[in-house]
Amino acid sequence: MTLLDFPGHVACTVFLGGCDFRCPYCHNYELADGTADPIMDEEELLAFLKKRIGLLDGVAITGGEPCLHKDLPELMRRIRELGFGIKLDTNGYHPQLLRSILEEGLADYVAMDIKNSPAKYAVTGGVDRINMDTIRESIALIMNEAKDYEFRTTVVREFHEESDFEEIGRLISGARRYFLQSFTDRDTVPYGNLSAPAKEDLEKYAQIVRRFVPDVTIRGVD
C-alpha cells in the first residue's frame, strides 16, 4: 500500500519486469534486466485487487518499463473495470503505446522520468544511444493528452550538474509540474560510488527549472 506513489489515492504498486534502459542508479535493476522472478501472474493480480475493493482506490503501474508490454492496455482495462484509478510510470520511450493508452483514457495520472539533458540522456539511461525525438514526442503527448501528470528527475551527483537543468527546463517548458528526486543508494543499485547531490544544489537546480515550469518540488530531502 502506498499513499505517495499515486497522488490523492490509497494505492498499491504493481511492478512489471523488463526495461529498455539500464540506468546505473536504478533501484529496480533486477526488474530491468529480467533476473527477478515473477511473484504473480495477471489473474492473481486481479484476484488480489478484487479482495481490496473498498480498501484501495488506485493502482500505480511501474517497472521496469510498463510500456514494453503490448498487452498493457488490456491489463489497464481490466483494472479499471474493477473501479480502480490508474497511475502509469514510464520512461517515455514507447510513444505509440502511450498514445493509445491516453486516447482511451486508461491512465488517470502519468509520471515520466526525464533522465537528463539531451546530450547526457544516453549515458544516464545506461545505453549507447537515445532517440531524443521519441522522448520529445512522449513529453508532448503527456502535456497535451494526459488527464494529470508529472515529470521527474532522479538527481545523482555524478550525472547531473547545473547546466543540465537549463536544458531539462527547456525540454519540458510549460509542463504542469516537475519533481527533483534525490538519489538514495540501495543494495539493488547496480553501480557503486554514486551519491546524492547536496541539498543546496537541489535547490539551485529547482530554481533554474522554475523559469520554465512554475511548479517545481524537491522530493526525498528533509
pLDDT value of position 188: 67
Structural domain boundaries of the chain?
A: 11-219
What is the rounded CA–CA span in Å between residue 126 and residue 130?
10
Domain spanning 11-219, CATH architecture = Alpha-Beta Barrel (3.20)
- 134-163 residue pLDDT tens: 999 999 999 999 999 999 999 999 999 999
Q: For the chain, what percent of residues have pLDDT higher than 90? A: 81
SS (H, E, C) 31-71: HHCCCCCCCCCHHHHHHHHHCCECCECEEEEECCCHHHCCC
Q: Is residue 32 scored above 70 in pLDDT?
A: yes
For 61-116, how does the pLDDT look when each residue is reduced to its tens digit (9 = 90+)? 998 899 999 999 999 999 999 999 999 999 999 999 999 999 999 999 999 999 99
